[in-house]
Amino acid sequence: MSAPDSAPGRPALPPVREILENALVVALPMRTRFRGITRREAMIFRGPAGWGEFAPFVEYDDEESAAWLAAGIEAAYLGHVPAQRDSVPVNATVPAVAAEQVAEIVARYPGATTAKVKVAEPGQSLSDDVDRVAAARAVIPRVRIDANGKWTVPQAISAIRAIGDVEYAEQPCATVDELALVRRAVDVPIAADESIRKAADPMRVVSADAADIAVLKVAPLGGMRAVIRLSELIGLPVVVSSALDTAVGVAAGVAAAAGLDSLDLACGLGTGSLFTTDVAEPFVPECGVLVPRWFGSTVDLAPEALAAPERTAWWHDRLRRCHDVLSRRGGAAEFVKP
């Protein structure tokens, strides 16, 4: 196995056959339903620099998913980025659970001083959100909320005012224009996530004056180096978050956060506690921080974590299609939209 040959602009792709020969497909059970799923499917594969992850959510199309493959190839073939710090502060992540479950979940993040609370869950009410956030405030000093773009502008304004003081509201509405309207109507800072990672132009949140904070995720943006470069371009305070990654993906997220020139906010990288088992020793916060760690030649994978044969075949086919997308674009490493 060898690193891809260099080409003008970006290295060539490793062959599909080489990736698949060193790949495993997993289905990790989760403690609580999160983002509508109870098992997280992912492909991990080993390269000369360690392990990479390819785990776009199953509903994503190939064009969007190709960036996730670029991120996995970067990790496996180029390795981590140089660190600017030896630890990364992380928030607790609270799914859309009943208020009485919040304290138990926050306790899984020892030393954390910030919690991100999911709100706007389909089938739940605003009073559920208010109660969940209040329960989080009772056990942790700072609370931020994440609506995943599910509110309309009037709903977002009403909900943010009802929920009260939070560190920020992440992606209250779906579009950049809607974020800008909400930002002008409320006193709470607005963070952009999907409006950056799913946008044809991630810089539009800046030109539209639509956000105070940028939430950046390694896999959807094409890799650690892409995140660092975009953080420099976007000029907003940055939070590096997990895309419900396995331990392999979290390693890349922690490396990216550790590689930023400036990091003033807790990152959303403590999501390993959402799984009952992982592909390797999970990243567990101690004193509210994670320490960068890279997975070299081995992972510690429980046999029961392996996906069923039909799902493995599905992921192999998906990787081939996304590899074709990257091939048309000219490469994988340092893939980024700007």
Amino acid making up residue 166: V
**Dihedral-angle region of residue 159 (phi above 0 means left; psi in -120 to 50 means alpha; beta otherwise):** alpha
Amino acid making up residue 132: R
Mean pLDDT, range 311-332, rounded to an integer: 93
Query: Which single residue is written with the structure tokens 């939209």?
Result: 337
Residue 6 has pLDDT above 50, yes or no: no
How confident is the model at residue 131, as a pLDDT? 98
Residue 335 has pLDDT above 50, yes or no: no
Residue 333 has pLDDT above 90, yes or no: no
Give the residue ranges of the annotated binding site for Mg(2+). 146, 170, 193
**118 catalytically annotated:** yes
Of these residues, 116, 150, 217, 337, which one is catalytic? 217
**150 catalytically annotated:** no
Of these residues, 116, 118, 150, 337, which one is catalytic? 118
How confident is the model at residue 3, as a pLDDT? 40
Q: Which domains does the chain have, with CATH numbers?
A: 16-78+299-331 (3.30.390.10), 88-290 (3.20.20.120)
pTM: 0.92
Amino acid making up residue 332: A
Residue 168 has pLDDT above 70, yes or no: yes
Closest CA to 150 of 118, 132, 117, 173: 173
How confident is the model at residue 199, as a pLDDT? 86
- 297 pLDDT band, cuts 50/70/90, is low
Question: pLDDT tens digits, residue range 57-71?
Answer: 999 999 999 999 999
Q: In a 10 Å sphere around its CB, with 0-12 CB exposed, 13-18 middle and 19+ buried, how is residue 203 labelled?
A: middle
Displacement of CA 133 from its chain's centroid (Å): 22
How confident is the model at residue 233, as a pLDDT? 95
Give the residue ranges of the annotated binding site. 146, 170, 193
Least confident of 83-97, 98-112, 293-307: 293-307
- Close Cβ partners of 64 (under 8 Å, ≥ 6 residues apart): 56, 198, 220
Are the beta carbons of 126 and 162 closer than 8 angstroms? yes
Residue 5 has pLDDT above 70, yes or no: no
Residue 108 has pLDDT above 70, yes or no: yes
Displacement of CA 92 from its chain's centroid (Å): 14
Mean pLDDT, range 237-253, rounded to an integer: 96
